[in-house]
Copies of this chain bind each other. A is one copy, B any other.
Amino acid sequence: MSLKERALKAHNEIKHHLFQELLPFWSTHGVDKKYGGYLTYLDKNGNPTGETVKTMLCQARMIYTYSSAHRTGLGEGKFLEIAGQGVDFLVRHFLDKKYGGWYWTCEQDGTPRDRAKIMYGHSFAVYCLSEYAMASGDKEALRLAEESYSVIRTRAADIQHGGFGEFFEEDWSPKAPGVYGGDRKSLDVHMHLMEAFTNLYEASGYHGHKTDTQRVINLIFERMVHPEFGTGMAQFAFDWTPLRAILFKNVWGSDRDVDDAEGRPLNNTSFGHNVEFCWLLKHALEILGVDEEPYRERMRKMYDHCVRYGIDWKRGGVYCEGPNDGPARERNKEFWQQAETLVAMLDAYLLFGEEKYWDAYENVHRFVMDFVINHDVGEWYPLFDENNNRVWDYMGHAWKINYHTVRAAIQSEKRLAAILAGMGD
């Protein structure tokens, strides 16, 4: 097949998946009709498992997803409505009126369970509320996004070293060190803050939000990207000394291997985070109106590392992580790394015009279509081993919902359409 035929085929498959599978699934699943907000524990058939804890992260990400689908012109108002009731639930039950910021988890009916303040979730409060504000024109949502931004800066910014602390108790005192994360900073959270500040700036047009987005970008390149290899480093002490990455108790639960006392090797990088960072960075530069030229070669390093070491060219898909300068070590294939690699490799192809990026896209696209998507239902399975055997099979849980999958489908569809338009008739 010619490249154009291959692009056309991929575009059709993505459109089919988005419009016939993913969006229909999320039109009928996920909303908590009893208490409002979202119920995110769904088994392999998409049915509620009976677990009902609500995590702030998933509530916020669902709000983002439905709002962004509406902004893309989809759902004929239905997605906006689903987003709006999610905002109501979030504000009613997660907002801490005493200490500021957002609780971390609550019961189905909204009773707070874990009142901790986690920066990961706070970045998504800013992200989803500004997305909802742009989708709806709701000024109160924008005000709440700005208030969340202000709380992040007031309570979590490290005025000594720059950047942000990430794990706090209810009253914003730092959590214990180590696995509770009180003494660590991460690329993951700072990347999501870049993503959130970008969206907030798009919604507000306020110069301070632009400045902060640029400063987080600078910080990531100065402190969190390997000076030699150009790939992302995961975790740091408050003074930015790189640390072996460990798993945190409060964020990722069932979807990570917890037998991890020593942490991963220092020479380790995440393929999914690297390329997700690249496409979010390119988007941020567009929103900021900043020239991408000084960033092109820096992005290329991350893309090339993923193409060379991250893609499973034999069996398809992208591995989790590995050293900055050699083959992947952790070869499981997670749903979110597939999702982010789809968008990212299309961006790389659009940026550099080199076929190896298209090939990487197509490889992961094929893996997603043939293995990851549960076509009986419409959502994605969460995890596979390196031989493409399914490890877990649920459609949703405390930390996995539709943020990565729907966003990847929407963003890939747009990029494929642009690539096809560039090819002419």
Contact = CB atoms under 8 A, between A and B. Distances in A.
Contacts of A212: 159
Cβ-closest 7 pairs across A and B: A160-B215, A150-B154, A153-B154, A162-B162, A160-B219, A173-B207, A160-B162
B215 A159 contact: yes
Given A207-B173, A208-B172, A153 B159 contact: yes
A154 B126 CA distance: 14
A159 B160 contact: no
Interface in A161-175: 161-164, 171-174
Interface of A: 149-150, 153-155, 157-164, 171-174, 207-208, 211-212, 215-216, 218-219, 222
A174 B210 CA distance: 12
Nearest to A165: B211
A386 to B, nearest CB: 39
Contacts of A208: 155, 172-173
A161 B240 CA distance: 11
A39 to B, nearest CB: 35
Given A158-B162, A159-B219, A173-B208, 4 more contacts: A150-B154, A154-B154, A159-B216, A172-B208
A173 to B, nearest CB: 5
Nearest to A172: B208
A207 to B, nearest CB: 5
Contacts of A174: 211
A157 to B, nearest CB: 5
> Most chain-B Cβ atoms within 10 A of its Cβ — which of A159, A164, A171, A216?
A159
A1 B326 CA distance: 79
A159 B164 contact: yes
A125 to B, nearest CB: 15
Contact of A158 (B171, B215, B222): B215
Contacts of A172: 207-208
Nearest to A100: B150
Nearest to A174: B211
Contacts of A211: 174
Contact of A171 (B157, B159, B171, B207): B207
> Most chain-B Cβ atoms within 10 A of its Cβ — which of A155, A157, A172, A212?
A157
Contacts of A158: 162, 215
Nearest to A190: B159
Contacts of A163: 159
A161 B215 CA distance: 9
Contact of A157 (B159, B173, B218): B159
A153 B157 contact: yes
Contacts of A215: 158-160
10 contacts: A153-B154, A153-B157, A154-B154, A157-B159, A159-B162, A160-B215, A160-B216, A160-B222, A161-B162, A173-B207
Nearest to A149: B154
A212 B160 CA distance: 8
Contacts of A171: 207
A278 B157 CA distance: 26
Contacts of A155: 208
A172 B153 CA distance: 15
A153 B149 CA distance: 11
> Most chain-B Cβ atoms within 10 A of its Cβ — which of A149, A160, A164?
A160
A218 B238 CA distance: 13
Nearest to A216: B159
A190 to B, nearest CB: 10
Contacts of A216: 159-160
Nearest to A215: B160
